[in-house]
């Protein structure tokens, strides 16, 4: 066994240790399968000798197979995607048992990279029938793969936190109180004319040894405790202070900030929100509060009274990450929100029958209910055009900008809010 193989195995096993939480992958895997119109999709982790199916649609998850008897082995060895439209007659894979038995006719797989920059497994779709592969299918599957990589890394971080309780939390608490966690801003754009509507504030940690860390590396840990309340209010205070300054140049600018469901478990939450707002100079009418952890919200606050109270304070209330759970509709009916943000998984699916149908259904329902809609994760001009055509009026994503610090907003973005385009 080479040193590279040993490193790959060590990296992969980190994700096997965390795979008890693989249910978080199910929606992404299901949407990937339906978007590419394949009956089977899987997330696999590959160690030295075995392939572990940790999430799947169309076949049971939890299978363990000899690595050498799978097509996925070729992905890990080559480090690139593998495509075969007719595996039975493909000399590379005719020996694979599942090909020989007729279970695999068409196959597309892309590599998944772990934190150590090693290939740890694959996201693959397969069909027992042999048929042509569309030219864009590999690129689209790779886009889903990047989302899966983020989800796997989050699962691993949560698992690691449970192995060292208190250590991570204490470091995050010190960072919040010391001003090391600050908002960065992703622009929200009006589709059709390119006008800047506002920004979403996203936490970034200026870590003393690791540099700038994105929210996935620390927010889930905060969500396991009341630290998320402190973090939310710190980001809200800083973002709305920036907003109050920026509206001097762009009067109708809006700011979206995340708000965890844990806020509403506290009897003094109204006073805390009022106090946070009052110290910034911003108007509540310019603020979009984006509700996270909607499952917990619906379970603990099913009458939606807290939403009406936030609206009475002048805020606009949004449901975040809509569409990543099939019961999002149930939560929408329980919580009288003003808008919904469509999750980035659906942006990847735009341009396919399932992606277009789901997005059209969501925007049609939103229009009937009088709700605003923003789609997240837009990365191409084609996605933006389709999103607008299907009923989205605003969007955010890498097509326009990654999240940027306040200084870059002031030098590069505020003039767009005044002039449009």
Which pLDDT value is given to residue 240? 98
Spans of all domains in the chain: 3-159, 165-419
For the entire predicted model, the pTM comes to 0.84
* Range ranked top by mean pLDDT from 216-220, 252-256, 367-371: 252-256
**pLDDT single digits (tens) 222-235:** 877 788 999 999 99
pLDDT exceeds 60 at position 397: yes
The residues, any chain, with a CB within 8 Å of residue 265's CB and separated by 6 or more, are: 300
Which pLDDT value is given to residue 262? 84
3-class state of residue 317 by DSSP: strand
Q: Which helix (H) or strand (E) holds 254?
A: strand 254-259
Query: Are the beta carbons of 343 and 377 closer than 8 angstroms?
Result: yes
Which pLDDT value is given to residue 243? 97
Which pLDDT value is given to residue 212? 92
pLDDT exceeds 60 at position 298: no
3-class state of residue 68 by DSSP: helix
**pLDDT single digits (tens) 110-132:** 999 998 899 999 999 999 999 99
pLDDT exceeds 80 at position 319: yes
HSE, CB side, 13 Å, CA atoms: give it for residue 159. 16
3-class state of residue 196 by DSSP: strand
Other residues' Cβ atoms within 10 Å of the Cβ of residue 312: 10
Q: Residue 326: which pLDDT band, with cuts at 50, 70 and 90?
A: very low
User: Cα–chain-centroid distance for residue 109?
Assistant: 21
Over residues 10-35, mean pLDDT: 83
Residue 192 is classified by DSSP as T
What CATH superfamily is the domain 165-419? EAL domain (3.20.20.450)
pLDDT exceeds 60 at position 210: yes
What is the CATH number that goes with domain 3-159?
3.30.450.40
Which pLDDT value is given to residue 140? 94
Q: Which helix (H) or strand (E) holds 310?
A: helix 305-312
């Amino acid at each position: 066994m080479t040193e590279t193989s040993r490193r790959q195995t060590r990296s992969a096993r980190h994700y096997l240790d965390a795979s008890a939480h693989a249910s978080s992958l199910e929606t992404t895997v299901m949407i990937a399968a339906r978007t590419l119109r394949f009956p089977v999709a899987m997330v696999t982790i590959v160690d030295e000798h075995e392939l572990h199916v940790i999430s799947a649609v169309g076949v049971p998850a939890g299978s363990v197979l000899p690595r050498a008897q799978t097509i996925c082995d070729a992905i890990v060895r080559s480090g690139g995607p593998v495509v075969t439209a007719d595996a039975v007659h493909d000399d590379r894979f005719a020996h694979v048992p599942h090909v020989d038995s007729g279970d695999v006719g068409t196959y597309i797989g892309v590599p998944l990279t772990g934190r150590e920059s090693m290939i740890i497994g694959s996201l693959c779709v397969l069909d027992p029938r042999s048929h042509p592969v569309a030219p864009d299918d590999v690129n689209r599957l790779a886009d889903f793969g990047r989302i899966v990589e983020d989800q796997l890394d989050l699962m691993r971080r949560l698992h690691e936190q449970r192995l060292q309780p208190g250590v991570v939390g204490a470091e995050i608490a010190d960072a919040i109180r010391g001003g090391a966690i600050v908002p960065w801003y992703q622009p929200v754009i009006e589709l059709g004319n390119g006008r800047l509507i506002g920004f979403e504030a996203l936490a970034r940690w200026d870590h003393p040894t690791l540099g700038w860390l994105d929210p996935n590396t620390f927010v889930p840990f905060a969500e396991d405790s009341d630290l998320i309340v402190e973090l939310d209010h710190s980001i809200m205070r800083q973002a709305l202070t920036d907003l109050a300054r920026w509206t001097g140049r762009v009067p109708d600018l809006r700011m979206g900030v995340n708000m965890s469901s844990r806020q509403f478990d506290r009897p003094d939450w109204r006073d805390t929100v009022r106090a946070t707002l009052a110290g910034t100079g911003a108007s509540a009418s310019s603020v979009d509060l984006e509700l996270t952890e909607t499952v917990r919200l619906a379970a603990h606050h099913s009458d939606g009274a807290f939403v009406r109270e936030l609206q009475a304070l002048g805020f606009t209330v949004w449901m975040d990450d809509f569409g990543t759970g099939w019961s999002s509709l149930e939560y929408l009916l329980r919580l009288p929100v003003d808008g919904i943000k469509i999750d980035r998984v659906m942006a990847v699916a735009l341009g396919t029958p399932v992606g277009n149908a789901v997005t059209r259904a969501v925007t049609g329902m939103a229009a009937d209910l009088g709700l605003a809609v923003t789609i997240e994760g837009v990365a191409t001009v084609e996605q933006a055009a389709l999103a607008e055509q299907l009923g989205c009026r605003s969007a955010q994503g890498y097509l326009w900008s990654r999240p940027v610090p306040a200084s870059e907003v002031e030098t590069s973005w505020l003039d767009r809010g005044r002039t449009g385009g």
